Amino acid sequence: SQTIHQWPATLVQPVGSPLSLECTVEGTSNPNLYWYRQAAGRGLQLLFYSVGIGQISSEVPQNLSASRPQDRQFILSSKKLLLSDSGFYLCAWSGQGVSPLHFGNGTRLTVT
């Protein structure tokens, strides 16, 4: 069966520090991969999605970036964190076409 791993579960970082969140998927090949952000009391905001290695689409301009160095690995990065980057970050995968999203357990990021 397919599984998705996301780490770390929680992270506290100072303003201006770099960020790297990692997500890996097992049990499937060539998944679509996604990064979402969920601010407190708000819905999900799609940040990035990828249909293949090295192919990244950005939905919202910001100081975050994403990379997909391997088929089942998706990384969210920032060179310098802002206070507004605090939130709950969720990685997800889906099959090809319109299929449901399968989410990781999320990373709670607090920028201080």
Partner 1 sequence: AQSVTQLGSHVSVSEGALVLLRCNYSSSVPPYLFWYVQYPNQGLQLLLKYTSAATLVKGINGFEAEFKKSETSFHLTKPSAHMSDAAEYFCAVSDPASSSASKIIFGSGTRLSIRP
Which CB sits closer to partner 1, 24 or 50? 50
Work out whether 32 is an interface residue with partner 1 (CB under 8 A).
Answer: yes
Surface-to-core class of residue 103, CB atoms within 10 Å of its CB (0-12 exposed, 13-18 middle, 19+ buried)? middle
Work out whether 2 is an interface residue with partner 1 (CB under 8 A).
Answer: no
- When binding is defined by CB under 8 A, the residue of 75, 78, 81, 104 that contacts partner 1 is 104
Q: How far apart are CA 81 and CA 101, in angstroms?
A: 27
Work out whether 101 is an interface residue with partner 1 (CB under 8 A).
Answer: yes
- When binding is defined by CB under 8 A, the residue of 11, 13, 53, 108 that contacts partner 1 is 108
Place of tokens 């088929």: 71
